[in-house]
Structure 1
Amino acid sequence: MSAAAGTAGTYSPAAEAGGKRRERKEELRRHLAEDADWPRADGRSFHDCRPAFMQTGPTTAASGSAYAEFGKTKVIVSVFGPRESKKAMLYSDTGRLNCNVSYTTFATGIRGQGLDNKEYSEMLHKALEGAVMLDTFPKTTVDVFALVLESGGSDLPIIISCASLALADAGIMMYDLVTSVSVSCLGKNVIIDPTSDEEAWQDGGLLVSYMPTRKEITQLTLTGEWSDGKITNAVELCMDACSKLCEILRERLKDSTSLASE
């Protein structure tokens, strides 16, 4: 399977800017202490997401695969199957979806910390299982392997979106594509698509996984402290960004189809 040429798509405009990590942390800490409006380190406004670069087909040995790069966060997902389950199981009218999320040893600033992430694996499964037509591959299994090459913030929502694209690339029947976006609450502000530094200082976090065409939330995870008004606003921001991100996924699938027909 050849890789579809991907281009960076914006599901909200954003500008890239540099800066040293330690200086950014100190600046962010100072702004939060002042509880004032502040510029984000990469030049984005509070409601701007990072440019999204996505492509299909980077892993030729897999049934389907996808690569995603959102700022410094880089993820690759490979899908295998449907194939006969290795575990003995009674006949079932529905198939099985297995999900595994792991990090490379160089994904984070702490070297040698590459491990399977069981919590993320379970959350990835929960986000995707409602979208996959499991009854189309009875008594077989589809395996989804997500590998975080570099962790730069908002890892899980990027993993979920990338996995959805990889499943579609593999030809797995789905009710709709699933896209996912997270927000962080820092002081009085709600910011979308947070970086690692911003997540480290957040008062609360919210993640939404969403099927835009069906207008269904497949997963909603809330942590920390939130007021009711902020939760409503945060969910609406995530759903809107998910809908725009889904258009980028659809464009990548169109690119893949065009290349395959050439």
Structure 2
Amino acid sequence: MPLDHRRLRGPDESQPPALWAAGAEEDEAGAGEGEAAAPPRDPCALRPLFARAGLLSQAEGSAYVELSGGTKVLCAAWGPREAAEPGGTAAAAAGGRLACEFRRAPFSGRGARPRPGGAAEREAAAALREALEPAVRLARYPRARLAVSALLLQDGGSALAAAVSAASLALADAGVEMYDLAVGCALCRDPGDPAGPWLLQPGEAEERRAAARLTLALLPALNQVSAVLGGGRGGDPEGWGQALRLGLDGCHRLYPVLRQSLLRAARRRDAAHSA
């Protein structure tokens, strides 16, 4: 079997450089000596978000989203292009088709490297497509195919929610007609307190020990939920309803940040054309 010499195979396991930093060792030593723990964070507080559209020249649309705490997602969008199906199908004749891909970089998280194209990546790609399809006007692209690729560079928690926001920005940057931007927001519940508050935009450590998780996508201008993905022991139905209300509020607060990044990308494009 011929070898792919153009691909650099990374190690099966990778660790972030912070593990070897002196500051991390001091923090661990301080915790072992019984020093005062950090105060609990506000469960309704949003992690600072940075978003920028129009980064990649090789793609028709692109976006980069970073959450404070280490989550970094890069998305690219292509299309519309002619569908590969010969003659088209009834569904393709009625509207276009959105193909989504979700990949994790070998160095994106701690522990064993996930297998490329595994069940976790396929599930995330299906959730990404479910969140984006209601936002795209696929009926305006009959017999056409739109493609979105999301690459998780670093997993610091709330990765799927960040991918939804980045992919929506990439589609809008590509000039695809959309009803609205799809904004993603994630929540989780601490297993130590099943009746406690939901945490908005949890970090990687909080997600790892969570008893229940919830990720939702919202079209804020239409006030329409495009996708809900959750599971675990979240308590009674009222607890899940509380999580939905908190997540919707978080999406509305993130919406202006994404819109401003899209406007700045349009201004940069206009300035480049006029120069």
**Cα offset, 1:114, TM superposition:** 5.7
Counterpart residue type for residue 240 of structure 1: D
Aligned to 2:136: 132
| 1:231-250 pair list within 5 angstroms | 231-250=240-259
Aligned to 2:148: 144
Counterpart residue type for residue 162 of structure 1: A
- CA distance in structure 1 between the aligned counterparts of 2:109 and 2:84, rounded to whole angstroms: 33
**Cα offset, 1:230, TM superposition:** 1.8
Contact in 2 for aligned 1:184/1:190 (Cα 8 Å): yes
Aligned to 1:39: 39
Contact in 2 for aligned 1:39/1:45 (Cα 8 Å): no
For residues 214-258 of structure 1, the C-alpha deviation after alignment (integer angstroms, 9 at most, x for no partner) is 010011122111222221221111111101111111101111121
Asked if 1:210 corresponds to 2:221, the answer is: no
Aligned to 2:183: 179
Contact in 2 for aligned 1:184/1:203 (Cα 8 Å): yes
Structure 1 range deviating more: 226-235 or 91-100: 226-235
Aligned to 2:54: 57
Structure 1 range deviating more: 217-226 or 76-85: 217-226
Counterpart residue type for residue 158 of structure 2: S
- CA distance in structure 1 between the aligned counterparts of 2:205 and 2:116, rounded to whole angstroms: 21
Residue ranges of structure 2 left out of the alignment (5+ in a row): 1-22, 32-37
Aligned pair partner of 1:118 in 97, 122, 135: 122
**SS at 1:181's partner residue?**
strand
Counterpart residue type for residue 182 of structure 2: V
- CA distance in structure 1 between the aligned counterparts of 2:115 and 2:175, rounded to whole angstroms: 30
- CA distance in structure 2 between the aligned counterparts of 1:178 and 1:149, rounded to whole angstroms: 21
- CA distance in structure 2 between the aligned counterparts of 1:39 and 1:45, rounded to whole angstroms: 9
**Cα offset, 1:111, TM superposition:** 5.3
Residue ranges of structure 1 left out of the alignment (5+ in a row): 1-18, 28-37
Aligned to 2:265: 256
Aligned to 2:17: none
Structure 1 range deviating more: 129-138 or 219-228: 219-228
Counterpart residue type for residue 135 of structure 1: A
**Cα offset, 1:50, TM superposition:** 1.1
Counterpart residue type for residue 249 of structure 2: D
Q: Normalising by structure 1, report the TM-score.
A: 0.83
**SS at 1:107's partner residue?**
coil
Q: Normalising by structure 2, report the TM-score.
A: 0.79
Contact in 2 for aligned 1:104/1:114 (Cα 8 Å): no
Counterpart residue type for residue 230 of structure 1: G
**SS at 1:128's partner residue?**
helix
For residues 6-55 of structure 1, the C-alpha deviation after alignment (integer angstroms, 9 at most, x for no partner) is xxxxxxxxxxxxx749x78xx8xxxxxxxxxx734xxx421112110110
**SS at 1:159's partner residue?**
helix
Aligned to 2:106: 105
Structure 1 range deviating more: 68-77 or 187-196: 187-196
Counterpart residue type for residue 52 of structure 2: Q
Aligned pair partner of 1:224 in 209, 232, 245: 232
Contact in 1 for aligned 2:100/2:147 (Cα 8 Å): yes
The size of the alignment, in residue pairs, is 232
**Cα offset, 1:128, TM superposition:** 0.6
Counterpart residue type for residue 101 of structure 1: F
Asked if 1:190 corresponds to 2:180, the answer is: no
Q: Percent identity?
A: 31
Asked if 1:76 corresponds to 2:74, the answer is: yes
